[in-house]
Amino acid sequence: MPSFAEQTGQPCAACHVGAFGPQLKQVGRDFKLFGYSSTDGKTHFPPVAFMSQTSFTHTDAPQPGGAAPHFASNDNLSLDQLSVFYAGRITPQSGAFVQLTYDGVARAFNLDNADVR
């Protein structure tokens, strides 16, 4: 996560093989095992990030009764997923990687990842 790189002052390649996950080097494994708490000693913004996936569907002919529940017969814009991440230090000895996702099609929230150490 970019917030981990900001928190430690290290590039992604310091922890990851090939600079992009998921495979970790020893430094990355230690960072995770010791609670995501390593820092460069500087003050940083809260380690929160967002990710969204959207789609637009247009068909040659309108779909009778709507394309799906809660959708129109054609030209549907959808928020497929909206995720919020917390990835960083909580206390000097603990940290977390947590992902909460809203599924805009199913209209449901899911806790995708939760690793608090």
Name the least confident of 45-49, 53-57, 93-97, 100-104.
45-49
State the number of CA atoms in the 13 A half-sphere of 31 facing the CB. 25
Model pLDDT for residues 19-41, shown as the tens digit of each residue: 777 899 999 999 999 999 999 99
pTM for the model? 0.78
* Confidence (pLDDT) at 69: 85
Cβ–Cβ under 8 Å, residues 27 and 13: no
Separation CA 71–CA 58 (nearest Å): 12
**Domains of the chain, residue spans:** 2-116
Among 71, 45, 43, which residue's Cα sits nearest to residue 57?
71
pLDDT in tens, 36-81: 999 999 998 889 999 999 999 999 999 888 888 888 999 999 999 9
